[in-house]
Structure 1
């Protein structure tokens, strides 16, 4: 072969330049759930740390919520829809597999003819999607990428199942990833555990979420902190360089266990930890951007701080990377 394939000029690095989120208006408390199943506020708080969660309205969808979050991320980035050339959506809760969410979100936002695709890595999806956006920008395949994590998990949850209905919720978060002379997103560390593929699952196309909670808890509290540590080192940083830890908001006890291990291995005592699970619930691939944006809104996190993100979910899949907060 004598012909040589050329490549597009990329950027030295990429950076998150905009962030936004959307939570539905309907608040569902633990007392509300106690009316339809055998549970109570104390039982739920003790096991998962959730006080309330948000449920989407019947006319809200993965795409509509994703567009709401995406519009906020675009506004913060100072970009117009025509400046976005790629849309990537992380979701595991579309009501139909076709058309995919990214093309619907692009249409709602007036983004013309972007490259668009969805990623289903369950609750790890946002980290996977950010990694894909970072790589697309650095290789020259894309310039400005809208990354969305959006879930309507209540469509796939049995409303009186105490193992899942107390946990899952709805919402969306989004970021814009753009070129940067100095890298603002570290290398992703990702993988999966083939021994636990069915611990979180939906049986058949008309089924509901089934979760083996104790198995997931033991796995997450032992396997995930090392992934986050590897991501920190892959970025050329020490754990003491990390300002903010935002994990997938699965369970407050899991979040606290991961944070404790990070601090024990060299993280700072003043490490800021996202605990949005308490008032938002588990929104799967949307949970990290929602949690981070709400921390910013509360004044807990500032632009320029170093964020360590790590997510895990059905598969069991996991992913982690460091990035600079916009």
Structure 2
């Protein structure tokens, strides 16, 4: 049931988002050169970034938008020398047909709740083990227990929660060993995906990614801490998820969820970033630009080996922190 709910509805949201953006571009409301970012569009449509990303990719394939050296897409065809216009899209009054708005909201309520629950869970599991009680979760969001079970099932599929012997829903603890396990899978999956999709990588996107990494590498790490999650996501989307193997794409995405959540939490706690991360990714991208996917995959393996060591070292620091000051009401700390 969860797969049907998430899979079909995500595709429909992507189609609706694409249609809304296409109409606003053709109608001139979104002018040529306007920078389109996934986050603000997702906020306007009240959906997640994933369907917005797919919608922008579809518009790019039709030549209505194109990538550039900065973040996001520019409205207009590539190769025309359009200058970026960074006007806030929220100020333009995006026209959303009533039927599209109703369709988006009826399909997005489940996803908005899911994203919140995922964030709540990911923010506490590094501190220990927590129990999630279905009825309390349902009451917290004022939704049915059917929706709650769908959400929890999806979280279990992504490795963020599990059921114990008493059939209680348990989140965490996220330990050094579980992090190592996820990185073992990353090392098995991601280099293989990089090699298998090397010929399908968007060269313009790859070039833009390289320029962005070079720019960040020249800056002090304290100046780009907020960019780390975005640049890593862009690297994964451009270099790893270019593989035509959709099953492999799904495995990689799901395995990355707890890893990304851990790194996000560590940054939220103020732990310093390592500038070597940017250098390592830049080396991978440079090798891809030179047409050396095997060497790029080997460099990616070295990057993942270094990344797991960095993450474990930071988790040792977190181990001496007492825990989050406040958690969601439906999360109850379990004594281990």
Could you say which TM-score interval applies, normalised by the shorter chain? under 0.3
- Higher RCO structure (Cα 8 Å, ≥6 apart): 1
* TM-score for both structures, normalised by structure 2: 0.25
Q: Give the TM-score, by structure 1 length.
A: 0.26
Larger radius of gyration between Structure 1 and Structure 2: 2
Structure with the bigger percentage of helix: 2
Q: Which has the higher strand share?
A: 1
